[in-house]
Amino acid sequence: MRARFLGFRDQALTLELRAYIRTTSYTEFLAIQEDIMLRLMQAIQQASTGSRKGPIARP
């Protein structure tokens, strides 16, 4: 997995994540993609610090 910090936005840090998933099965690809995104969300929630702990903002 590769990560790049792209910059700042209002109330956000902008990141780009790129994962190379080696499968020819679209169903397997979707399952792996979902697992990566859920793990990322969990890691961000666990790492939240400061006085404004709370849920992740969603678009």
The tens place of each residue's pLDDT in the chain, 59 residues long, gives 899 999 998 878 899 999 999 999 999 999 999 999 999 888 888 877 544 555 555 55
pLDDT in the model for residue 55: 58
Strand partners, 5: 15
Structure tokens at 16: 């780009």
Residue 27 CA to residue 37 CA, distance in Å, equals 16
pLDDT in the model for residue 24: 97
DSSP 24: S
Other Cβ atoms within 10 Å of 29 Cβ, number = 13
Q: 3-class DSSP state for residue 37? A: helix
